[in-house]
Structure 1
Amino acid sequence: MPSFLAIFTHENITSFFESYKAFGPIVAILLPLIEAFLPFLPLVAFAVANANAFGLWEGFLLTWIGASAGSILVFLLIRKFGQMRMLNFISRHPSIQKLMLWVEKRGFGPLFILLCFPFTPSAAVNVVAGLSRISVWQFSLAALSGKCVMLFIISFIGYDISALVKNPLRSVFAVLVIALLWYVGKRVENRLNIRMSQREDKGGS
């Protein structure tokens, strides 16, 4: 019985991505788009699969189109239906109201920074932005540019996954980069939260 690692041969990996590519670019766009509605789905895995199946640039572009469209669709749906009774309880929550006010005041910058990093809660960002009064074009610009940066980094790291398997040093480097992105993203997120709390304290005093 072959070992688990023996499955990850160049031939098997190539065969998998060729099979995935056979579904066509529509599926490559739809999977990241659906992830915006179902955030438990692995966007990173979709980005890596697209980059390996379609090539770095085309795969990145397909993932970016899907993920950006998904974020903007969630934003628009929340903007349109967020005040309905079944969703109104979300906007009445004190912490959500604070986030909404913060997004409205700060606009593009913090949204762009949060969406630049993987592992930040982009689904929550989409919802809060939709409930806030930030303009559609501001959010769209932040989503398009932030997702562009984040997904290109992931696609670049994950491109040619067979080389990652064959070259342990490259695999370690990729893991370290992803861990660094996670750490920096969390630090930025925490820093923005602290600044928001400080402004609220000043406003209340």
Structure 2
Amino acid sequence: MTDFLTLDQLDRLTAYYEALGPIVGFLLPFIESFLPFLPLVVFVVANASAYGLLWGFLLTWTATVAGSYCVFLLVRYFRDTAIVRRFTEKRLHKLIHWVDTNGLSPLFVLICLPFTPSVLVNVVAGISNIKKVNYFIVLFAGKCAMILFISYIGYDLRELLTNPTKLILSIVAIIAMWAIGKFFERRLNKRVERDFEAIEQQKKQQ
């Protein structure tokens, strides 16, 4: 394990990954859109390290946008079927209704944050009444900000691991993004619950 973590081994691993070709670099983040347990951050760093900051960023960005939009389109196509309704629990219905009411701004914020469960955002957007072109624009812009941030941190792994200042700053930045994501997630949940309860009370009063 120690030998595997040396810088020379890391360089060889990066070279091996690059030798697999950009198709693999595209497919991994694309598939992650369907299988959220896969580590998107690892794929972003691997592409940026293997293909450079610019090309690695573009490769991951186009792949994750394409994959996320495919999930959105699939859910939109099957949203009225029994199988989608079966796996859409009441809490998710509240979020969908809230998104329909508040528009694209909260989705854009969630997409920008690297630790947001993107598949959940894509499913909610697919079941909601958001127009396809509008969601594509939000997805396109939000993923750009998120992928660029991670790519910039991880495109030079050798410098990152040998420069304590950059390593510490990167760790702090990642922790900060995680904390910001959790903050917005809790705040969003509270707003969804509050707005949904207000709507229910208005219905009872009518």
TM-score interval for Structure 1 and Structure 2 normalised by the shorter chain:
over 0.9
Instruction: Count residues in correspondence.
Output: 201
**Structure 2, unaligned runs of 5 or more:** 202-206
Given the alignment, which residue of 35, 40, 44 partners 1:43?
40
Give 1:17 deviation, angstroms. Answer: 1.2
* 1:181 and 2:177 aligned: yes
**Match of 2:74?**
77
Contact 2:112 2:146 (8 Å CA) reproduced? yes
**Match of 1:137?**
133
**Match of 2:30?**
33
Distance 1:108 1:128 in 2: 11
Contact 2:57 2:148 (8 Å CA) reproduced? yes
Give 1:62 deviation, angstroms. Answer: 0.3
- Secondary structure at 2:33's aligned position in 1? helix
Distance 1:49 1:199 in 2: 41
Contact 2:98 2:195 (8 Å CA) reproduced? no
RMSD between superposed Cα atoms in Å: 1.4
Which letter does structure 1 place at the counterpart of 2:38?
A: L
TM-score using structure 1 length: 0.92
The aligned runs of 1:88-127 (5 Å cut-off) are 88-91=85-88, 93-127=89-123
Give 1:128 deviation, angstroms. Answer: 1.2
TM-score using structure 2 length: 0.92
* 1:18 and 2:15 aligned: yes
Contact 1:47 1:63 (8 Å CA) reproduced? yes
Given the alignment, which residue of 189, 193, 199 partners 1:203?
199
Q: Deviations over 1:113-141 (max 9, x none)?
A: 00000111111111111111111112111
- Secondary structure at 2:30's aligned position in 1? helix
Contact 2:29 2:63 (8 Å CA) reproduced? yes
